[in-house]
Amino acid sequence: MTPTGIQTPNSGLAQHVSRFGAFAVSAEARPARLGCLGAALLTIGGLGAGSTRLHDPLLESLHLSWLRFGHGLVLSSILLWTGVALMLIAWLWLGRRVIDRTATEYTMVATTGFWLAPLLLSVPLFSRDTYSYLAQGALLRDGFDPYVVGPVENPNSLLDNVSPIWTTTTAPYGPAFILVAKFVTILVGNDVVAGTMLLRLCMLPGLVLLIWATQRVARHIGASGAAALWVCVLNPLVIIHLMGGVHNEMLMVGLMMAGIALTFERHPVWGIGLIAVAVAVKATAGLALPFMVWAWMHQLRDRRDLPAVRAFALATAASIVIFAAVFAVMSLLAGVGLGWLSALAAGNVKIINWLTVPTAVANLINVFGGLVLPVNFYAVLGVTRIVGIAIIAVSLPLLWWRFRHSDRDLLTGIALAMLVVVLFVPAALPWYYTWPLAVAAALIQTRPAIAAIAAASTWIMVMWKPDGAHGMYSWAHVLLTTACAAVAWYSLSRAPEPASEPEPEPSKP
């Protein structure tokens, strides 16, 4: 017999299954069930209206290729957008529970499982980047350097689905992610369907790490873990774009947040190491490293009573050594150098949309200035992008110095640094906004802030089209998107807050 108070692994698993089953049929799970239905409709509609392959033998073999054309495409689009609407409604429903403080961390984690399950079977949604990832992994698999040549140098069936703009572009991702993509293509060959599914499964550890780290960071600074999970895990930009769209930001953000959590919990060696791995997935995670030096310095001062200058020097030197060692190992395993750094700017220059300030300003000058004088849009865009880079270069050191005093300060500094980068880089894409959201999640706890996040996330979500294009040059699409964002903001800005406890009456004589 099992002694009282000691649980076997089987009994522990049974308890988790039982708790999940009880949650699934409870009234508390109504947003989870609604979002699950939405995710299922999104997955079905994605077969015809998502970022599908140009030639899809699988749909043809299932006699479903009609979903991609004519009335079938209309039906697919209706199903897909109905799914998105249901997921947004369910998310806002949960947001009201976050505001009145009736939501729990368990509700958020269990709901994530409900919403994610159907999407694991979907085609890539709202982006065609998955096909580029597979083609770049095949380059390394077949003996090419993806930091020197683009996928066009390695003709195969994977190349057929890569967006033409990226066929000649070298990989802008770090060696860790290129290594992941290589192993995926080694396992499945040039099978696009199996490659997409396996690559999405490779993103799951990032989601798990994000869930784990978000709760710990929130508790560390005395914030609500449920609110933080609502902001950066259940957010449609994460569930639909990062997991449904299969973006490597999922790995990068999860690793980075886990590194921040470990550093805050006085495990800086492991924390810096994980952030270094995150940088080896995508360079953006490197914005967190300088701030973690401050955290390590504070810990050295508290533990060893070191002078500030000496503690800072020791933390800086150790961080550089750990980062260099981890990065060297990753580069050695992948067999590549640092050529991906030069591809970062080259790739962004090709994207033109209104999601960054430099491009938005250039578009406005082109529209309104062109009414008076002839305007060369690309010349103006070149100038505004240079100004944007200058703003980033000035802002980052200032933020690093200003937000250095406490762990809450450090989180604020990282979030603002990432927001400045997203706003002022030459170009951005919707999933880029998950970078600052993940870090700021523990800081976004008030009703006005939660309502603002709901509006911004809804606007970006609805603005993008399922095939990876956007509607920013269609006034009808912009107005519809703005209306949806306004509804999202209004629904949460008016949400009831928890009633404050009554003050105790003065004692009577």
Domain ranges of the chain: 27-123
Of the listed ranges 18-22, 430-434, 492-496, the least confidently predicted one is: 18-22
How far is 438 from 440, CA to CA, in rounded Å? Answer: 6
The answer to whether 461 touches 84, Cβ cutoff 8 Å, is yes
The DSSP 8-state label assigned to residue 441 in this structure reads: G
State the average pLDDT over residues 179-200: 93
* Per-residue pLDDT band at 504 (split at 50, 70, 90): very low
pLDDT of residue 73: 85
Of the listed ranges 289-303, 373-387, 432-446, the least confidently predicted one is: 373-387
Partners of 464 in the β-ladder: 470
How far is 205 from 232, CA to CA, in rounded Å? Answer: 15
The answer to whether 120 touches 43, Cβ cutoff 8 Å, is no
371 has pLDDT over 70: yes
Partners of 470 in the β-ladder: 464
Beta-carbon contacts of residue 215 (< 8 Å; ≥ 6 apart): 105, 225, 228, 229
pLDDT of residue 499: 63
The answer to whether 84 touches 160, Cβ cutoff 8 Å, is no
State the average pLDDT over residues 216-225: 95
Which one has a higher pLDDT value, 339 or 189? 189
* Per-residue pLDDT band at 293 (split at 50, 70, 90): very high
pLDDT of residue 13: 81
1 has pLDDT over 50: no
How far is 427 from 421, CA to CA, in rounded Å? Answer: 10
How far is 141 from 189, CA to CA, in rounded Å? Answer: 10
State phi, psi for 121 to the nearest 5 degrees. Answer: -105, 0
Q: By percentage, how much of the chain surpasses pLDDT 90?
A: 63
Give this prediction's pTM: 0.91
Of the listed ranges 4-8, 70-74, 130-134, 329-333, the least confidently predicted one is: 4-8
User: Helix, strand or coil for residue 162?
Assistant: coil
Of the listed ranges 76-85, 114-123, 164-173, 321-330, the least confidently predicted one is: 164-173
Alpha-carbon radius of gyration of the chain: 24
pLDDT digits (tens, 9 = 90+) for 446-466: 999 999 999 999 999 999 988
Of the listed ranges 156-165, 311-320, 347-356, the least confidently predicted one is: 347-356
How far is 250 from 207, CA to CA, in rounded Å? Answer: 6
409 has pLDDT over 70: yes
State the average pLDDT over residues 102-117: 94
pLDDT of residue 468: 79
Helix, strand, coil content of the chain in percent (nearest 5): 75, 0, 25
The DSSP 8-state label assigned to residue 283 in this structure reads: G
pLDDT digits (tens, 9 = 90+) for 381-392: 999 999 999 999
**Tokens at 49, concatenated:** 């209206």
The average confidence (pLDDT) of the chain is 89
Q: Where are the alpha helices (DSSP H) in 365-465?
A: 377-402, 407-424, 434-440, 447-463
Of the listed ranges 213-222, 350-359, 411-420, the least confidently predicted one is: 350-359
The answer to whether 393 touches 403, Cβ cutoff 8 Å, is no
pLDDT of residue 506: 42
For the ranges 66-70, 471-475, 477-481, 502-506, the maximum mean pLDDT occurs at 477-481
pLDDT of residue 460: 93
State the average pLDDT over residues 462-490: 90
* Per-residue pLDDT band at 305 (split at 50, 70, 90): confident
Q: Which residue has the tokens 């791995």?
A: 277
Q: Where are the alpha helices (DSSP H) in 54-153?
A: 57-61, 70-99, 105-119, 129-141
pLDDT digits (tens, 9 = 90+) for 246-281: 999 999 999 999 999 999 999 999 999 999 999 999
368 has pLDDT over 90: no
Q: By percentage, how much of the chain surpasses pLDDT 70?
A: 91
* Per-residue pLDDT band at 60 (split at 50, 70, 90): low
pLDDT of residue 343: 64
DSSP line for 224-270: -HHHHHHHHTSSHIIIIIIIITT-THHHHHHHHHHHHHHHHTT-HHH
State the average pLDDT over residues 204-219: 96
pLDDT of residue 376: 87
pLDDT of residue 450: 96
- Which among 123, 121, 200, 191 is positioned nearest to 158, based on CA atoms? 191
State phi, psi for 470 to the nearest 5 degrees. Answer: -135, 165
Beta-carbon contacts of residue 116 (< 8 Å; ≥ 6 apart): 39, 207, 239, 243
User: Helix, strand or coil for residue 464?
Assistant: strand
pLDDT of residue 335: 84
DSSP line for 329-382: HHHHHHT--STHHHHHHHHHHT---TTSHHHHHHHHIIIIITTTS---HHHHHH
Whole-Å CA distances, 21 to 26, 90, 114, 367:
9, 20, 12, 56
State the average pLDDT over residues 214-220: 96
